[in-house]
Structure 1
Amino acid sequence: MTSTPATDAYDSLPDAVTEIFGEDATAEHAYDLLTVDVPATAWIAALETARDRLGCTYFDWLSAVDEPGTGFRVCAHVAAPAHGKVRRLLIRTTVPHDAAVLPTAVGVYSGAAWHERETHEMFGIGFEGHPHLVPLLLPDGFEGHPLRKDFVLAARVAKAWPGAKEPGESEHGGPKRRTMLPPGVPDPNEWGPLKGQLPPAPTRPARAARAAGDRPVRRARSVS
């Protein structure tokens, strides 16, 4: 297979990441995928480098992950489908929760338009310069961004989860464990139609430390 400048540059990663993407960039191979992290100020430049220097002309998808205490990690997956082997690349950057804005990637990959619209409505991330940054999936009048970790699952406050019962609540018997609220579901006494009307949630008693001599005696297994 004949080598090209684009394949040579791609194959030099992750070692040559600062030479290709700038001194603040980092790269690693994980789960059979090459990932490059760049600062938000280098987001568009990194996408242009991937397209023009690495030959990643195919845009696959763009989305984000909400990482509490860190910010929103925005990811773009692109590829170079050439010479019988697809070279995949994930480019990531991070924006803070209180300033979640990036320049649009539509000028680099036109296919990013719908993905940025979805990411905008699901996470509340702005993409400056986007030609039509309007809701894509959610109904008109929907409030909030449902893929943020702090988004309140109001339906689970108004109505309990309709799945299997907790231990101790079915015909199988057994002790009932403490009911725990899944992520996104607030205490119904603090949010929702029953706010302030319920008794305090029960707390689990602290487990006392067991003395060394109190350990149960292990019975020896008899050999038949």
Structure 2
Amino acid sequence: MTAYDTLPDGVTEIFGAEATAEEAYGLLTVDVPAGSWIAALEIARDKLGCTYFDWLSAVDEPGSGFRICAHVVSLGEGRVRRLLVRTTVPHSAPVLASAIDVYAGAAWHERETHEMFGVDFTDHPHLVPLLLPENFEGHPLRKDFVLAARVAKAWPGAKEPGESEHGGPKRRQMLPPGVPDPNEWGPLKGQLPPAPARPARTPRAAGAAGAERPARAAG
């Protein structure tokens, strides 16, 4: 049995007392404090055999901070064993040690994470923009980043086609699934009336549901 096979139960013995681990959908995930980030990656590489670096990115978790995730893989012994190592840095100080001395392939991923989320990776030798155009302002994958398109034209429209510019209060179109309410997010936050609730479906009347169809006329 390898050290990898003792996880998640043996996470504290391998990664330290403050580490936690869980396995879901076949992916083993280990969470460590930010101060143990580099040590955890070294353990994953040297003790668990995860020598293949796959990717590194972040998730903006409101109320918690930026969760940094590194996905590494062990390809030894004819088995593919995956490991997700995570840590969290606060929104107020998004700083984390660079992992390039452990996994050289993390260099470009840290550059992308830096420009998309604003996380600073200390000791990175070339932390410059990778994907965004020159002079781009802000970090577009942060939850508080307001899209320019929403500033130019609010979505959805404050009134429906055919409604007058004057008269009663303006109506708002219903929000499709997965779209945030612009009254709670974006440049019009707090300025719009509540979105209308979807009307409840009423069951058919019992008599109508059980009524027999009229007999067809003989041809």
Q: Is this a same-fold pair by TM over 0.5?
A: yes
Kindly provide the CA deviation profile for residues 177-214 of structure 1, in whole angstroms up to 9, marking residues without a partner as x.
356428753218x9xxxxxxxxx5334699xxxxxxxx
Query: Which residue in the other structure is 1:196 paired with?
Result: none
Q: How does 1:1-16 map to 2 (within 5 A)?
A: 8-16=2-10
Give the 3-state SS of the residue equivalent to 1:8 in structure 2. Answer: coil
How high is the sequence identity, in percent, across the aligned residues?
A: 66
Aligned to 1:187: 188
Aligned residues of 2:157 and 2:173 also touching (Cα < 8 A): no
Q: Which amino acid aligns with 1:202?
A: P
**Structure 2 residues not aligned, in runs of 5+:** 163-170, 176-180, 213-219
**TM-score, normalising length from structure 2?**
0.78
Q: Does the 8 Å contact 1:79/1:86 carry over to 2?
A: yes
CA–CA separation in structure 2 for the residues paired with 1:72 and 1:205: 34
TM-score normalised by L of structure 1:
0.76
C-alpha RMSD over aligned residues: 3.0
Whole-angstrom CA distance in 2 between matches of 1:56 and 1:137: 28
Amino acid across the alignment from 2:68:
V
Q: CA deviation at 1:75?
A: 0.1
Cα distance change, pair 157–47 in 1 and its aligned pair in 2 (3 A): same
Q: Secondary structure at the match of 1:28?
A: strand
Q: 1:74 to 1:168 in 2, by over 3 A?
A: same
Once the two structures are TM-superposed, the CA of residue 96 in structure 1 deviates from its matched residue by 0.3
Q: Deviations over 1:117-171 (max 9, x none)?
A: 000000000000001000000111000000000001122221356xx9999649x
1:129 to 123, 127, 142: 123
Query: 1:205/1:147 Cα in 2 relative to 1: closer, same or farther (>3 Å)?
Result: closer
CA distance in 2, matches of 1:204, 1:56: 49
Return the alpha-carbon distance in structure 2 between the equivalents of residues 75 and 30 of structure 1. 15
